[in-house]
Amino acid sequence: AQTVTQSQPEMSVQEAETVTLSCTYDTSESDYYLFWYKQPPSRQMILVIRQEAYKQQNATENRFSVNFQKAAKSFSLKISDSQLGDAAMYFCAYRSLTGNQFYFGTGTSLTVIP
Amino acid sequence: SQTIHQWPATLVQPVGSPLSLECTVEGTSNPNLYWYRQAAGRGLQLLFYSVGIGQISSEVPQNLSASRPQDRQFILSSKKLLLSDSGFYLCAWSLGAGGDTQYFGPGTRLTVL
């Protein structure tokens, strides 16, 4: 089975600064999807950004962008101009093109300091 | 647009009592459906997933079961709850083969006393 690793259990960032959350994964497949989800204190899981492995261009959604390094099997999330509302648990996830399961990392708890 | 509902939002049950959590999806057909459990401050544990009516895959052996009586309805059940069943239960859906993103419901907070 594929594994997803988030090596940073907790991170903190000053408001308006930039922070990068790390994620690595293990797979033998060449095509797949990668995701970052945000889980605020309400515990609703919200999709932040997705990336198709066959696309070389890094995905961007407003202040959120990814650094996708396919050869290194790395998928980091960069949050620019951090806001208090960005404080949450962030999960990295993987899905193959042919499979039905999603594989999640253990999460990174992000604190935003005013 | 698609929406996913879960109920109840909060549940407090005594040990040994039965459980039924329901999840329904609107606005799509033949979705894949998933049940996850999350302990406080922890990651997601996949419990069951379903690719069609009556088709259930179990990922973790335990006293929970799942059923899919209708295309867009997914039910999580237990005959006798254990203290260890306490947690936050999330239902999710995605498109099947060729689909990508998984979308989550609001969750059910279950406390077993």
Q: In this predicted model, what pLDDT tens digit does every residue of B62-84 receive, in sequence order?
A: 789 999 999 999 999 999 999 99
B44 in the Ramachandran plot: left (φ > 0), alpha (ψ -120 to 50) or beta?
A: beta
Q: Answer yes or no: do A107 and B43 touch at CB < 8 A.
A: yes
Least Cα separation, residue B83 to chain A (angstroms): 21
Categorize the per-residue pLDDT at B97 as very low, low, confident or very high, splitting at 50, 70 and 90. low
- Residue A79 exposed, middle or buried by CB count within 10 Å (0-12, 13-18, 19+): buried
Q: What is the three-class DSSP state of B71?
A: coil
* Chain B positions in Cβ-Cβ contact with residue A53 (cut-off 8 Å): none
Q: Are strands A103-104 and A88-96 parallel, antiparallel or unpaired?
A: antiparallel
Categorize the per-residue pLDDT at A96 as very low, low, confident or very high, splitting at 50, 70 and 90. confident
Least Cα separation, residue B52 to chain A (angstroms): 12
Give the pLDDT confidence of A29-82 residue by residue, as tens digits: 988 999 999 999 999 999 999 999 998 899 999 999 999 999 999 999 999 999
Identify the CA nearest to B76 among candidates B87, B65, B68, B86: B65
Residue A101, pLDDT score: 87
The single-letter code of the amino acid at B78 is S
- Give me the long-range contacts of A71-76 (CB less than 8 A, separation at least 24): A72/A24, A73/A24, A73/A25, A73/A26, A73/A27, A74/A22, A74/A23, A74/A24, A75/A23, A75/A24, A75/A25, A75/A34, A75/A36, A75/A51, A76/A20, A76/A21, A76/A22, A76/A23
A102 part of contact set with chain B, CB < 8 Å? yes
Q: What is the three-class DSSP state of A41?
A: coil
Q: Are strands B10-13 and B108-112 parallel, antiparallel or unpaired?
A: parallel
B95 part of contact set with chain A, CB < 8 Å? no
Q: In B, residues 16-75, which contact A (CB 8 Å cutoff)?
A: 32, 34, 38, 41-44, 46, 49, 51
Share of chain B above pLDDT 90, in %: 80
